[in-house]
Amino acid sequence: MSAKPSRLPTSGVYSEGSIRVLKGLEPVRQRPGMYTRTDNPLHITQEVLDNAADEALAGYGKKIKVTLHIDGSVSVEDDGRGIPFGMHPEEKAPVIELVFTRLHAGGKFDKGQGGAYSFSGGLHGVGVSVTNALTTRLEATSHREGQLARLVFSGGAVIEPLRTRPLASGERRQGTTVRLWPDAQYFESCALPMGPLCQLLRSKAVLMPGLCVSLLNEKTRDTQTWQYQGGLRDYLAQNLSADPVIPLFEGAAFADGSHESFAEGEGAAWCLAFTEDGPPIRESYVNLIPTSAGGTHESGLRDGLFNAVKSFIELHSLLPKGVKLLPEDMFARASYVLSAKVLDPQFQGQIKERLNSRDAVRLVSGFVRPALELWLNQHVEYGKKLAELAIKAAQTRQKAGQKVEKRKGSGVAVLPGKLTDCESRDTAHNEVFLVEGDSAGGSAKMGRDKESQAILPLRGKVLNTWEVERDRLFANNEIHDISVAIGVDPHGPDDRPDLTGLRYGKVCILSDADVDGAHIQVLLLTLFFRHFPQLIATGHIYVARPPLFRVDVPARGKKPAAKMYALDAGELAAILDKCAKEGLAREKCQISRFKGLGEMNAEQLWETTLNPDTRRLLPVQLGALDFSATEGLITKLMGKGEAAARRELMELHGDAVEIDI
């Protein structure tokens, strides 16, 4: 039976001519939100500022000046080397023009020999070309090698071609000036927020002692200047709202040329303070880029701090009986400024607010832990005060967990025999993984953190419960075990169930990264949406995303051999592209596809899927549709009498699906 023509839209013909190829900077102008923040032009200004800071980081600049002009434009001036303006050997265009007009052009792609920067603020293939695309006018001036070069753009296109002239006797000898006029059609407001701008400029001065950063506002004629000779310590001490319990712990460590795992220069500088009250100050940076959402370098700091203090406590036998320390007990009262240097940082999102590089956990932790252990053992009294603070936090947390336990009463059902429970009773910290199959469950049991992670293996496909009556649910053993394990009874959307019996703060669906795994995931999501909706509403349901591919990358230069994981074909292509840029032929990278979780050993499963620092865990919540609209859509997908509706959906959207055979 063919689809009825009357159901098809009469306007719009889908043919070869329907496909539009966006060229140059068109993609940025079409979908600016994919590349930058559109509430104001702070991020596109930051892209220019980051380039100036990268010159200072590379040791070629000592001043950065930002000017807010009366006409609404912004200029950033540095005394670095100046952007090269000679002809590119392959592209046959001035290099300065390519930097501002190509999404994949810059001096940061080639690390080591041939590249302009050893360390820089990340690689997304965007940068100042996005700034150029979203401005009505951009003027770029470069002072370099005794000459001044200037060109002007509008909306990303050159409107005044490159002109050069010799430098006059009174002009500065080197550096770059970029002046930009943000295009109002792309931003909710064209005004730069002064608070975040000042914080951004101040952070550059904090992270590079001796760098002078200034801001001139032509309207108010105010000038602010930041310069910190004392670096991180001065900055953190000035901003603490309470006196620290022990003196600030400051340190810095970087890999040398003989380091086994990391390239020369990779490492971190940090300053830690511990207070009993007041809001903690927590700021982190990667290659001078502020990472407001944290990331793996912060996880490394937490890991190094926890292990160093735990080691000190064990060495001096300070832990009271029955108290178990967790990383958050150490971290709860910690304030810090962390500045990491990573050779090839991988960020989440185009605005680089979170670092995703897995190696950064090991990098920062490996330098922080020994330095802090040495300091604590050299200052035993300070170490004991810090241990006391952490132990007090652990005792408070455990008492809170015990109160919740008592409220459950004595009528708790017997837990399922196949549940491998965790040791902790702290609901906020505990997690249970609903794992597909016994073999995957076995790897998960061996690879998990037994303190806080529980495993419940599920045998076979879970029942489609969309049209199952609530009082018949427990006839199915798997659903009975899920309900008893999590400690919450089935309920409806308008019910107010008793969630005090909830045994885990996170209920995580963990299935294979293939079609069968997706089917099991859908069946479990159907169960929770239909019969445990309050768990979704209160943010307790998650989906774990195991990788589909593993790439064994051989050693390249100073970087050792590594195992990389990709969630899908897109991430696999990105990994291979990155290797190719590093001069590694694709055929030298060995690609393995996981047929299922059962193929992973315990260590791989921990590293990719269970470790809170490196895993991908997606919270389940309502999307663009409200509850009733979502309910109607799932009825079409999961209802027994909805075959016609499902066929209509497939006819409408079937061409958008990528089939994995």
Q: Which residues are catalytic, by number?
A: 436, 512, 514, 516
352 is in an annotated binding site: yes
The rounded Cα 522 to chain-centroid distance in angstroms is 26
76 labelled binding-site residue: no
- Torsion angle (degrees, nearest 10) of CA 240, 241, 242, 246: -10
Residue 507 and residue 486 in contact, taking contact as beta carbons nearer than 8 Å = yes
Question: Is 259 annotated as a binding-site member?
Answer: no
Expressed in percent and rounded to 5, the helix, strand and coil fractions of the chain are 35, 20, 40
Give yes or no for a contact between 45 and 181, defined as CB atoms under 8 angstroms apart. Answer: no
Hey, what amino acid is at 211? Answer: L
Longest dimension (CA), the chain: 90
Q: CA 502, 504, 506, 507 torsion: positive or negative?
A: negative
Does the annotation place 230 within a ligand binding site?
no
Contacts of residue 166, defined as CB under 8 A and 6 or more positions apart, other chains included, come to 146, 147, 148
Q: Is 125 annotated as a binding residue?
A: yes
Alpha-carbon gap, residue 517 to 536, rounded angstroms: 20
Report whether 14 belongs to an annotated binding site: yes
Range list of H helices, 316-418: 327-331, 359-378, 380-407
434 is in an annotated binding site: no
> Binding residue per annotation — 88?
no
Distance CA 134, CA 40 (A): 11
Tell me: is residue 78 an annotated ligand-binding position: yes
Residue 352 Rama label (left phi>0; alpha psi -120 to 50; beta): left
Query: Is 565 a known ligand-binding residue?
Result: no
Residue 322's nearest CA partner among 211, 218, 423 is: 423
Report the C-alpha gap between 53 and 73 in whole angstroms: 20
Q: How far is CA 215 from CA 149, 170, 197, 355, 582, in A?
A: 25, 24, 9, 28, 38
Residue 124 annotated in ligand binding: yes
Determine if residue 278 is left, alpha or beta; phi over 0 gives left, psi from -120 to 50 gives alpha, anything else beta. left
The answer to whether 491 and 532 have CB atoms below 8 angstroms apart is yes
Which residues are annotated binding-site positions for ATP?
14, 51, 78, 122-128, 352
Which residues are annotated binding-site positions?
14, 51, 78, 122-128, 352
